[in-house]
Structure 1
Amino acid sequence: MIGRNDMLKRMTTHLLAGAMLLAATGAASAETLKVWSRQTDESALILKTLTDAFTAKTGIQVESYNTGTDFEQRLARAAAARDLPDVVINDDAALGQMLKMGIIEEVDPTKIEGNDQIVPAAWNSAKGANGKVYSVPISAQAFALFVRKDWREKLGLPQPKTWDDLHKLAEAFTKNDPDGNGKADTFGMSVPASTVRGYASWYMSNFIWAAGGNFVKQEKGGFKPDLESKPVADALGFMRSLFCEGLVQPGAINATTGDALPTFRSGQTGIFLSGPYHIAVLDEQPGKDKIEVLPPPAGPGGVAALAEGTSAYIMTGTKARTAAEKFIAYLISPEGQEIGMGEGTGHTPLVRLPINKTVDVDAVRKDPRWGTFKEVFDKSGHYVPPVPNWTPIRMLTAEGFNKILASCNSDIPAELKSIDQEMAAELRKQKALAE
């Protein structure tokens, strides 16, 4: 028989154990992860669905914040105030700048569950110039052509396979009244050639690589400029011909993507080089039946396209490292990837092309146009070079390219030599800082 004192002891032990378990459970559920993302409001709705699913699965709460405009400035202010979030979701091209700011921590991929499911090419965007990993890719994308199929077929022209085909199509869309309204109010290509955020460089990279050129070459001891070459001059010359012949939309030299997109949607232009994130809005206007998605036409060096993506970064000083790693593991999991793709929601996806190799984009999207982007990424995608900090390189090359495109008579090789000299100074500065 159990004595009264023994019973009291056992009851006390059980009560204490229960209280400890309750406290532990409460602590876990009360844990909050701060996540900032550089996203539009449309993508943020997908992120909210994803974080809600993560919370339901783990009990970890997520406090999110997003903006698509002054994200970098807000990060800088948060760093100065020592009030950084735990995780940031940002463009993979921002890695160098964030590393320079000292606000991201090195990532050990083996600590991220499911890291072996990420397609190998995507990891190229996660490494610094020193070869160390500083982010985890969660989305990929490449560029392809959106073309007014109805215009092209009306004019009896083939899908463009080469730069020459592309030029002829742009010329026909400009001069042959493809919309049939009897007015000279259409143009060939919609081009974002602004220097804002480096758009001119971002856009021209597709043509530079397709020409067989490069921004830099990597040699023992670092990177050296490589724009002063015939392939790069050919790429700038081809694009400048479209400007000088009036085959791009008015104001293209100062246009961002935000300015260029409406010209294609409204029927002012008929060719738009962009990523898969614009499929949904272009299906609304000008309409799914009026557009087609085509691989970029081959340049002198073959088919090439800018490969980009979105990555998750663990921020310096986080006190929730384990929770951050769990959250990132969920982002790259098949479940997280499919939620992030936002299929059927009508919203801009957070995950454009899945980086998890077990996720079948065709099975999820059920739209062959996404398969075209996936094929371009797999076969022809080029990430920006892994220089210590790509942002200033992108900005100074954008200034130089914009100047070339704006002047029909300038000496392109001489201008490229000047850009190379500026880039050399920037690369030396970056190397010195790294040492």
Structure 2
Amino acid sequence: MKSKFGQLLLGGCLAVAVALPASAETITVWSRQTDQSISVLKAITDAFTKETGIKVETFNSGIDFEQRLARAAAARQLPDVVINDSSQVGSMRQMGILDPIDRTKLAGWKDVSDIAWQSAQDGQGKYYAVPISAQAFALFVRKDWREKLGLPVPKTWDDMRKLAEAFTHDDPDGNGKADTFGLAIPASTTRGYASWYMSHFLWQAGGGYLKKTKDGFLPILNTPEDAKALSFVRGLICDGLAQPGAVNATTGDTLPTFRSGQTGMLIDGPYDLGQIAKEPGLDKTEVDMLPAGPSGVAALAEGTSAYMLKGTTDKAAVMKFLDFLISPEGQKIGMNVGSDVTPLVRLPVNTTMDVLKIRKDPRWKVYQDTFLNYGHYMPAVPDWTSIRLLTGDGFNAILSQCQSDIPAQLADLNTKVAAELKKQGVLDPSYKE
């Protein structure tokens, strides 16, 4: 077993201290978490140590995690395991720090849902992670407003549009003022939020970002399906059915508009259920599946994975830890039921578990059903972040210009994405502009 090391924070920077000896029954786990939520991981590691006798040293950071990991890699002082977003599998592979994982060596691998395992693969279909948590997105609706106006739960894009119009123009809060809007849209270029938000609608329209081929990826942004999705969302913004400033808004801006009663619909993950329960309150809100587009229901799937890093010498201990993370016991501890601290496991990836028997809140069932039946992960390219930022800028430009030529803009964006794929070495050679 390689020796472990201490860490010092000097002036906000991570410094590698003198190496500390560790027994063969100690593994080191780094996680991308805040100081508050690290308590959930500690509960898991404590239970794991009690069951196996293997000790776990942890380190966490909620900011600059990837930079700290890169510095550790340069110093050849990597931990054994990293817990990070599932979307980071491509970029961490590109760093050359991951060991592939033979999932069949995990006792509980068959209990993990097939769609969750998709998030653990690279572009060639090899597994480089173990999924431990999943989430999808659903539609928060002001139930009291909807029922007052006598409108149904939105099941289609047309329903969503009609409900947005009513929430905007028919005074749903009864205060006699024109101060409400149909829905909250985060279409900012910041961190590619416009791309993140549009993903649901692209898939619902039957389009998307990329097509996986046997020789790489082809960009598919210049399609009628993607144009239809952008046209629908742009119509909501340009017709004044979204909150003012939608094209400059992040998710940090949109949640308060729903909670304060400015907007009546919000696409969001389960992590904000607690805040919405407090304001405007569970009696005034409902969680519905995302409305179907021309090609049906679809929603972005996200999650958290555990990665085994190169240089690990005690792989048997690491595999035991990974197995514990996906076991019913580890999953249940990670769900952190009954606490206000953000859980490590939002939706369990272990299919033997019934989320309603643990969380007791039927709203979670909407998220679970959406993930299992309609979830879509972002494409597993080496560097998805670059493409997210690129498409975020492109989509924002389309949503900001109410009379622009959407197909022409998408064709230009498609060319830019192709250039990025070529840069990453994964563009299908059959690509033609």
TM-score (norm 1): 0.89
2:345 is aligned with 1:345? no
Residue aligned with 2:264, SS: strand
Q: Deviations over 1:39-61 (max 9, x none)?
A: 34553332222222222222333
Find the partner of 2:242 among 245, 248, 251: 248
5+ long unaligned stretches in structure 2: 1-20
Question: How many residues align structurally?
Answer: 409
Q: CA deviation at 1:110?
A: 2.5
Aligned residue number for residue 376 of structure 1: 370
Q: What is the letter of the counterpart of residue 159 of structure 1?
A: V
Q: What is the letter of the counterpart of residue 128 of structure 1?
A: D
Aligned residue number for residue 237 of structure 1: 231
Contact 1:96 1:391 survives alignment (8 Å) = no
Aligned partners of 1:142, 1:43: CA distance in 2, in Å? 20
2:351 is aligned with 1:357? yes
Aligned partners of 2:185, 2:54: CA distance in 1, in Å? 44
Q: Deviations over 1:127-178 (max 9, x none)?
A: 1112111000101111110111111112221110111111121222222222
Residue aligned with 1:190, SS: coil
1:286-301 superposed matches below 5 A: 286-301=280-295
1:78-227 superposed matches below 5 A: 78-227=72-221
Find the partner of 1:424 among 403, 418, 422: 418
Aligned partners of 1:67, 1:266: CA distance in 2, in Å? 31
Aligned partners of 2:50, 2:107: CA distance in 1, in Å? 18
Aligned residue number for residue 296 of structure 2: 302
Classify 1:237/1:287 alpha carbon distance in 2 versus 1 (closer, same or farther; 3 Å): same
Q: Which has the larger radius of gyration?
A: 1
Q: What is the letter of the counterpart of residue 202 of structure 1?
A: W
Contact 1:280 1:348 survives alignment (8 Å) = no
Classify 1:80/1:348 alpha carbon distance in 2 versus 1 (closer, same or farther; 3 Å): same
Aligned residue number for residue 319 of structure 2: 325
Q: Deviations over 1:180-221 (max 9, x none)?
A: 233332222112222222221111110000001121123342
Aligned residue number for residue 9 of structure 1: none
Question: When you count helix as a share of all residues, which structure comes out higher?
Answer: 1
Aligned partners of 2:329, 2:213: CA distance in 1, in Å? 41
Aligned partners of 1:281, 1:64: CA distance in 2, in Å? 29
Aligned partners of 1:44, 1:257: CA distance in 2, in Å? 23
TM-score (norm 2): 0.89
Find the partner of 1:56 among 50, 58, 79: 50
Q: CA deviation at 1:31?
A: 4.2
Identity of aligned residues (%): 62
Q: What is the letter of the counterpart of residue 60 of structure 2?
A: N
Aligned residue number for residue 310 of structure 2: 316
Q: What is the letter of the counterpart of residue 285 of structure 1?
A: E
Classify 1:61/1:185 alpha carbon distance in 2 versus 1 (closer, same or farther; 3 Å): farther
Aligned partners of 2:176, 2:427: CA distance in 1, in Å? 60
- Structure 1 vs Structure 2 CA RMSD: 2.2
Aligned residue number for residue 272 of structure 2: 278
Residue aligned with 2:420, SS: helix
Aligned partners of 1:290, 1:186: CA distance in 2, in Å? 15
Contact 1:280 1:347 survives alignment (8 Å) = no
Aligned residue number for residue 14 of structure 1: none
Aligned partners of 1:377, 1:186: CA distance in 2, in Å? 31
Aligned partners of 1:39, 1:287: CA distance in 2, in Å? 28
Q: Deviations over 1:292-342 (max 9, x none)?
A: 010110111111111121111112223443332222111100000011111
